[in-house]
Copies of this chain bind each other. A is one copy, B any other.
Amino acid sequence: MTLAEVATQAGVSLSTVSKVLNGRSDVSPPTRAKVEGLLETHGYRRRAQGAPQAPLVELVFHELESVWAMELIRGVENVAKEHGAAVVLTESGTRHAPGADWVEGVLRRRPLGVVLVFSTLPDKVKKQLRSRAIPFVIIDPAGDPEPDVPSVGSANWAGGMAATRHLIECGHERIAIITGPEDMMCSLARLDGFRSAMATSGLEVDPRLVRYGDFHVQGGFAHAMELLDGPDRPTAIFAGSDLQALGVLEAARLKGLSVPRDLSVVGYDDVPPAQWSSPALTTVRQPLRQMAEEAVRMLLRPDGRGRSSLRMELATHLVVRQSTAPPAKHRKA
């Protein structure tokens, strides 16, 4: 049965039928219902071509595994909705840049813009997007933005400073840090914040207590097992990420140390697991959702395309929960 026949049976024009098919709103509900009824009865199947445009925002993750992903997705969703746009989610996989298949898809989908999390774009792709006036922004918690791409991050140095100050104010002096990988700017910024907080309080940093982790549970666990070995162990560990902090908690448990009585632990990020851990983690909050919201706003504002050198840094702040306390006077060796 052709659409023309559907139109005849419904007593409407062919264009009305196609309006219904395309989800246009300028058709009266009764007419719409009648046409939909006929289409359903006769089992209409649409052709592959001819879908009308609907606004999209592309969101690309390096890896969805990240515990951050959910907060970032919700931030992007929030602002995209405000603009009546739907969010297309892509995981670029092991590569830090999305593949060619992705690019082809984006060019066909013609999104309002592209938000990249922790990813980069080959110059060729940047050129393709720019030539079609498809703006893009990078959410870059690692603090290592590309010069020619607008990006949103957060204040890592200040976060490291705040975490360390809190431990010092609790009365800790022998404080260890497990920061992230040595090749990530955010790891270095957090470590420098730690060093400055120690220095301004006249405390020495024992080089053996400075570790570079992997931002995952295992890295925190492995370094903590070493740090907590022996009588001169630190009374507090700034774990550099919440996942590393969870690894530290497990190491403390295996060493028979009670947190926070025998050991204080501070995380970083304030992702949901930080609240669910036992004890709940004192941590530095990265405003992930707001970072994502700002990224989309940056993307969708009229002059967004011109502002390729824009870098926005949102504030971090300390969230005190149950994993930190003053050091015990007498600790078991």
Contacts and interface: CB of A to CB of B under 8 A. Distances in A.
Interface string A63-101: 011010110011001000000101111110000000001
22 contacts: A36-B128, A39-B131, A39-B132, A40-B127, A40-B131, A44-B132, A46-B110, A46-B132, A48-B53, A49-B52, A50-B53, A51-B108, A54-B108, A69-B70, A74-B91, A77-B89, A77-B91, A84-B105, A87-B89, A246-B276, A246-B277, A272-B273
Contacts of A250: 278-280
Interface stretch (A17-25, A113-121, A206-214, A226-234): A17-25
A52 B54 CA distance: 11
A300 interface: no
A305 to B, nearest CB: 8
Contacts of A88: 56, 86-89
Contacts of A74: 64, 91
Nearest to A248: B278
Contact of A278 (B69, B107, B277): B277
Contacts of A307: none
A25 B104 contact: yes
A161 to B, nearest CB: 27
Nearest to A59: B89
A107 to B, nearest CB: 3
B67 A73 contact: no
A253 B250 CA distance: 13
A331 interface: no
Given A36-B127, A37-B131, A44-B131, A86 B70 contact: no
Contacts of A43: 133
Contacts of A46: 110, 132-133
B67 A23 contact: no
A19 to B, nearest CB: 11
Contacts of A21: 132
A249 interface: yes
A301 interface: no
Nearest to A280: B250
A263 to B, nearest CB: 13
A109 interface: yes
Contacts of A329: none
Given A23-B107, A70-B69, A278-B249, A131 B86 contact: no
A45 interface: yes
B86 A52 contact: no
A-B pairs, 8 with minimum CB distance:
A23-B107, A51-B110, A54-B108, A36-B131, A51-B53, A40-B131, A250-B278, A39-B131
A178 interface: no
Contacts of A50: 53
A217 B51 contact: no
Contacts of A84: 101, 105
A88 B81 CA distance: 12
Contacts of A23: 104, 106-108
Contacts of A90: 77, 86-87
Contact of A133 (B44, B53, B253, B276): B44
